[in-house]
């Protein structure tokens, strides 16, 4: 995701991305990333959870209007507490 | 762009370290992260969101039913699919995550329908005429960096988008 964003940044496009893993974004350093700590495959939230999907998207889009410096990673404050799926994914024990 | 000098997994931390070791051991022995020392330049949104044309680019492996699926082989796939802003039924092909949730509710990784609703409700000016879909497992990124990525950038510029929203899976 960050590699694509860097390409778009280099072409002069305004961009904002969601990232699920801060340490990967720190390796790639795109112009502006928004950290959402949800499981892989559930980036915006659980299936059918429209309220969370909207909240994530609104928060991410709102950051695009802010005067962040290049390379900023904004923690949007979304965490996953439904189960241990994300933790297992981060240990490569689930996908 | 560059990679640190040694092959040691200790160069990385957290999930970056876990994924590096996993992919090299099980899938792609020469895999390494593509890293950068400096951030890419930031270009500010030039108009309010309520007036902006927003494009979705996602790496969930979404495609239309009549488009070819992504290559799920060990070498990855740096190709992309164009989807019209009014795309309906979607399919998902991706090796890196469980696509069951996306098949139930595409908004979880490919929020095109949600962006349409936000447009209708006036929170976004308009959707770009097409969205772009990649499959996120690309262990050899050179074709992405030099071919398909710049190609999509050119199409986003041709579509006169004000903001590109990138969503991973």
Dump pLDDT digits (tens) for A68-83: 999 999 999 999 999 9
User: Other CB atoms closer than 10 Å to residue B90's CB: what's the count?
Assistant: 21
Nearest by CB: B168 against A14, A19, A70: A19
Contact call for B45 and A71, based on CB within 8 A: no
Nearest by CB: B104 against A4, A47, A62: A47
Q: Is the pLDDT of residue B1 over 70?
A: no
Q: Are B59 and B141 in contact (CB under 8 A)?
A: no
Consecutive H or E run containing A57: helix A50-63
What is the pLDDT confidence band of residue B74, given thresholds at 50, 70 and 90?
Answer: confident
B/e letters for B106-121, b = 16+ CB within 10 Å, e = fewer, are bbbbbbbbbbbbbbee
**pTM, full prediction:** 0.95
Residues of chain B with C-beta less than 8 angstroms from the C-beta of A70: 39-42
Dump pLDDT digits (tens) for B7-25: 667 889 999 999 999 999 9
Distance from CA of B92 to the nearest CA of A (A): 11
Q: Are B154 and A11 in contact (CB under 8 A)?
A: yes
SS3 A58: helix
Inform me whether the C-beta atom of residue B80 falls under 8 Å from chain A C-beta atoms: no
H-helix segments, chain B? 14-26, 100-104, 112-120, 142-143, 149-158
Distance from CA of A53 to the nearest CA of B (A): 7
SS3 B57: strand
Interface test with A, best of B61, B108, B121, B122 (most A CBs within 10 A): B108
pLDDT of residue B6: 54
User: Other CB atoms closer than 10 Å to residue B9's CB: what's the count?
Assistant: 13
Nearest by CB: A14 against B14, B43, B154: B43
Q: Is the pLDDT of residue B37 over 90?
A: yes
């Amino acid at each position: 995701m960050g590699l694509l964003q860097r390409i778009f940044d280099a072409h002069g496009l305004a961009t904002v991305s969601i990232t699920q893993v801060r340490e990967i974004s720190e390796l790639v350093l795109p112009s502006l990333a928004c950290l959402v700590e949800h499981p892989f495959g559930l980036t915006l939230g659980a299936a059918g959870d429209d309220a969370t999907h909207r909240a994530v998207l609104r928060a991410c889009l709102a950051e695009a209007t802010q005067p962040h410096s290049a390379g900023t990673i904004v923690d949007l404050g979304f965490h996953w507490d439904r189960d241990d799926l994300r933790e297992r994914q981060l240990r490569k024990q689930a996908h | 762009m560059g990679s640190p000098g040694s092959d040691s997994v200790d160069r990385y931390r957290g999930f970056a370290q876990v994924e590096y070791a996993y992919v090299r051991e099980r899938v792609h022995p020469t895999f390494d992260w593509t890293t950068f020392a400096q951030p890419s330049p930031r270009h500010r949104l030039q108009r309010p969101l309520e007036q902006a044309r927003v494009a979705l680019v996602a790496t969930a492996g979404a495609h239309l039913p009549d488009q070819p699926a992504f290559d799920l082989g060990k070498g990855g796939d740096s190709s992309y699919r164009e989807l019209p802003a009014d795309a309906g039924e979607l399919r998902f092909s991706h090796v890196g995550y469980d696509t069951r949730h996306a098949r139930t509710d595409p908004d979880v990784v490919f929020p095109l329908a949600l962006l349409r609703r936000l447009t209708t409700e006036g929170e976004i000016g308009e959707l770009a005429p097409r969205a772009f879909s990649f499959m996120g497992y690309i262990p050899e990124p050179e074709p992405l960096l030099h071919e398909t990525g710049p190609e999509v950038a050119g199409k986003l510029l041709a579509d006169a988008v004000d903001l590109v929203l990138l969503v991973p899976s």
